[in-house]
Structure 1
Amino acid sequence: MGKILNCKVLLMYSFEYSLLCYYCPLQQKSKPCPQTTSQCMPDQRCAISTGNYGFFHILSSQGCVDSKLCGSHKVISYQGVKYNVSYTCCCKNQCNIPPKSDSNLKKLLDLIALKVDHVGNTDVWVMRFLS
């Protein structure tokens, strides 16, 4: 609640100015994004969008979204597959930098994938795709 109130106060103060946000189209989260920026409309916020397939975070995007999407989820179809997309917003210039991937988590997933590969050779491609 405090973040929403702070965001509203900040936006009322700077109503004449539009936010400047990082932009990256919806794509696989492992693909690199250039540091491109875009100017938002007055009723938009900077956002990071994440697309999940089940429990797996597969897609990501950055950019301006309508403020009514902030904190919401919706199902979208991307290349014929349905993903649950969530929108996390912020209200400062270039505040929508995606979190850095945790290299320790990646190493752990690689170890699990290796163990599964040696034990039963099942569904290893999922672990390798996600790491």
Structure 2
Amino acid sequence: MVLGWLLLLVAALPQGTTGVKECIFCELTDSSNCPGTHMHCGDDEDCFMGQGTSPGLSPIINKGCVRSTSCGREEPVTYQGVTYSLISTCCYGHLCNKGPIPAGSWMAGATSSLALDMLLLLLLY
């Protein structure tokens, strides 16, 4: 019974809150392929993927760690002399930003993770 409650507590925590979080880091680039390098985030940081747009130009991307309070914010960045509007989308798991920037919302992944956690709990009882 105690094990079940402990698993419930761990499953309820956002991924990445149980230890050092690693994220992928990529400088601003206009390439859709950004293999990046591993970096450690601070306690108050989450992994992010940023996509910047400027009228008439291809989008730019970057990845790394960002303070939780900056998630979802839009801010101007300059890349190769052009100012882009960059929106940072955060994710909350270990190396969660290593894939390509998704076309849809990251909430789909969070919902799937929650559903799998609930299934695990049901199987334990």
> Which residue of the partner structure matches residue 37 of structure 1?
38
Look at both structures and tell me which one has the larger radius of gyration over its CA atoms.
Answer: 1
Higher relative contact order structure (alpha carbons within 8 Å, sequence separation ≥ 6):
2
User: Deviations 1:42-73 (Å, cap 9, x if unpaired)?
Assistant: 11100001110127552111111111110110
CA distance, structure 1, for counterparts of residue 16 and residue 98 of structure 2: 23
Report the aligned-residue RMSD.
2.7
> Which residue of the partner structure matches residue 22 of structure 2?
20
Tell me, yes or no, if structure 1 residue 9 matches structure 2 residue 13: yes
Which of the pair is proportionally richer in helix?
A: 1
The number of equivalent residue pairs is 92
TM-score, length of structure 2 as denominator length: 0.62
TM-score, length of structure 1 as denominator length: 0.59
5+ long unaligned stretches in structure 1 = 1-7, 103-131
* Runs of 4+ that moved beyond 6 A: none
5+ long unaligned stretches in structure 2 = 1-11, 104-125
Identity %: 30
CA distance, structure 1, for counterparts of residue 16 and residue 99 of structure 2: 26
